[in-house]
Structure 1
Amino acid sequence: MTETLAQRAYARIRQDLLEGFIAPDTVLSERALAARSGISRTPLRSALSRLEREGVIARLENGAILVRSVSFEHLLEIVQLRQALESAAAGRAAQAGMTPELAAIRDVMAEYAEGRSTAFDEFWAEDDRFHDAVARTAGLRLLPGILTEQRATARRCTITRTHDRFADQAREHIAVIDAIARGDAAAAGAAMALHFDNVRARFLGWLGR
């Protein structure tokens, strides 16, 4: 039961961090987190130990808990890493062929490309589906887990939450899917690389506002 509570506390705190309910650089106490999670200190400490090992939080000398921020430089490193991995994955996906999952995702992205309004977290979930689907279509079993970890880190950088219009991203996703549907590996890889070039440019643009 303790392990179940610890897992629940871990998931709750992590989700609060990802969705911005607990801001980066916030200093928290175990008492406050226990009250927020509705559990006792023992399972909470297990959850916090896991988050500390993942580099999400840090213990201060006075025992308080610091929520680590993700720097803009770290965010750009993640973009560069994902660009290399996912461009190659898109090319492999084109060789494997179109899937019903990618076709369904294309339909959703078409709605966003036409101006469908949505909240950040809703589009982020659809963005996850797109990138995971490309990796799975490519037959790269380890890549979805790597992407999940890197996206979770990137999401903790506050600049990623400053945007609420997603038509450009949707059109870029569609370009990748259409190249996969044609079986054009070179075009699929190039479209994914361009997508991440544009992601980087958008981040830099938002930083300059």
Structure 2
Amino acid sequence: MKGAVLDQASPLIDRRTWTRRDGPLWQIAYDTLLRMIQRRELPAHVPVVENQLAQQLGISRTPLRQALLRLEIEGRLQKTVNHSYVVRRVELKEYLQSLRVRQFLEPEAAALSAGRIPADHLAAAHANLLAVKETEPYSMPLHWKSDDEVHDLFIENCGNDTMADILRSLRVTTNLFEIERLSERLIPDSQQHERILETLEQADAGAAREAVADHIQSLFEFAVRTVA
């Protein structure tokens, strides 16, 4: 099977301008690879060729392998029998089952976080959501970044570390399916995220629980309607 490579004339990471203040190279490589997954530039089940990818990124294989290992630990990548990395493919059944578990836990996380989230974090999430809606042309990476920001706000502030760990893992699974299989959902996602942020700003636990439950149910119905 042919490996996943990019038609890239110059390295994606410019070592000439990089300094330690920018963060470790493996972290920059991780962020770059995550954007590539979100843009479908690393398709599911297509082997990652480390030598070629290191050349495309403009880094050595050591920080690249650190980035790949983190993506594997998170569940975004998996190793084949040939020890190559591939983006994990999530099938519809696993996606829908993961959404159902999220629908039990995530509304509760939102309710628990009500009144706990710093106001400036909520304001920043609102501003970034607005920027995504106004960006022309549509930017998939910005959409996913805003999506993560909204959900991370209440997951990280729910006060239950075990619940947060489970939800982070489930969101990796559902995100992989949505990137590969679902069409762009900017308008419904933006409207539903706006409602979630408003309930959190009002510190209304009941309304936050309902807004998140409705959002996940919308994702479930959308997948069944468009993929099943």
Return the TM-score normalized by structure 1. 0.72
Q: 1:26 to 1:176 in 2, by over 3 A?
A: same
Q: 1:65 deviation in Å? A: 4.6
Q: 1:140 to 1:8 in 2, by over 3 A?
A: same
Aligned residue in 2 for 1:58: 79
Matched pairs, number: 204
Where 2:154 maps in the other structure, the secondary structure is helix
Aligned residue in 2 for 1:177: 197
Aligned residue in 2 for 1:76: 96
1:157 aligns with 2:177: yes
CA distance in 2, matches of 1:8, 1:105: 23
Aligned residue in 2 for 1:89: 109
Kept in 2: contact 1:109–1:171 (CA 8 A): no
Percent identity of the aligned residues?
A: 28
CA distance in 2, matches of 1:153, 1:73: 11
Q: Which of 89-98 and 67-76 deviates more?
A: 89-98
Please, which of 22, 47, 58 is the counterpart of residue 27 of structure 1?
Answer: 47
Q: 1:85 deviation in Å? A: 2.3
CA distance in 1, matches of 2:202, 2:70: 44
Q: Which of 13-22 and 97-106 deviates more?
A: 97-106
Please, which of 4, 14, 18 is the counterpart of residue 38 of structure 2?
Answer: 18
Q: 1:110-141: CA deviations, max 9, x gaps?
A: 6778x876322212111111112223444445
Kept in 2: contact 1:25–1:69 (CA 8 A): yes
What are the within-5 Å matches in structure 2 for residues 80-119 of structure 1? 80-96=100-116, 99-106=119-126, 109=129, 118-119=138-139
Higher helix fraction (1 or 2): 1
Q: Which runs of 5+ in 2 are unaligned?
A: 1-23
Q: 1:49 deviation in Å? A: 5.2
CA distance in 2, matches of 1:183, 1:23: 40
Please, which of 196, 215, 221 is the counterpart of residue 201 of structure 1?
Answer: 221
Return the TM-score normalized by structure 2. 0.67
